[in-house]
Structure 1
């Protein structure tokens, strides 16, 4: 069996590459999908497709249309969602993706440092599994695949 895993979370560092590398090292049969990881492309895709927008609000809204389309399609195809809440960046997109996973019945593995327990307590109670790091999230998937 192979699982498709949607990696929800911020796109400002290489955490997804670390997950892919660790899964590969463990020889886990996982395929990963995610939001657009090229931050500039993510921010500019609306103007790239629709043309120059009159201001930054319209630019952001145009980009959001295409980013939301990508998320909808890839999350629907995923078997499970890993949502990483880090402490360095604002986590609005992660919260939205985790909520979408829950609303659509996708199994959700919530990754958050214990320091974020209070801020994420309601979301954590709805997730299938809550872990402290991506290694534990991969342990959970390895168990499912065993």
Structure 2
């Protein structure tokens, strides 16, 4: 079985690389998709459309340009893994979870137990909650077994 997995959320740690490495080590037939993870590049995605004096409008344009990529990738995905880090609030990840829920695209949340309460609604629609990338890799292995 082949799967396409979208990795959404926190960009300040190596969690994506850990999952990709685990997929490779296990030889799982998974295509991994992700948003632009270079923070500065993501913030500047709309700059090609013209300079903005107000940061609100710069962020507004860049978020729409980024959304072209995000929506397309989630639309292609069989499953999403949505990571919430402890240091920053990933509002975009919560939005991605909502988009997945609306599309009925299954998703797994990945976060520490300190975020259980603030993410209770997001977790309620998730198919699983993982605390480690190893757990995510094990879930992917199970899902793809013959």
TM-score range, shorter chain: over 0.9
Residue aligning to 2:78: 79
Q: Secondary structure at the match of 1:45?
A: coil
| Structure 1 segment 1-146 matched on structure 2, within 5 A | 1-48=1-48, 50-146=49-145
CA deviation vs aligned residue, 1:64-115 (integer Å, no higher than 9, x gap): 1111111010110011000111212212111111111111110111112122
Q: Secondary structure at the match of 2:89?
A: coil
* Deviation of the 1:13 alpha carbon: 2.7
> Which stretch of structure 1 is more off in the superposition, 61-70 or 113-122?
113-122
CA deviation vs aligned residue, 1:90-142 (integer Å, no higher than 9, x gap): 12111111111111110111112122211212221211111211211121111
Q: 1:103, 1:134 → 2: CA distance?
A: 25
Q: 1:80, 1:138 → 2: CA distance?
A: 13
With the length of structure 1 as denominator, give the TM-score of the two structures: 0.93
Name stretches of at least 5 consecutive residues in structure 2 with no aligned partner.
Answer: none
With the length of structure 2 as denominator, give the TM-score of the two structures: 0.93
Q: Secondary structure at the match of 2:44?
A: helix
Q: Which runs of 4+ in 1 moved over 6 A?
A: none
Q: 1:51, 1:14 → 2: CA distance?
A: 33
Name stretches of at least 5 consecutive residues in structure 1 with no aligned partner.
Answer: none
* Deviation of the 1:54 alpha carbon: 3.0
Asked if the contact 1:84/1:112 (under 8 Å) is kept, the reply is yes
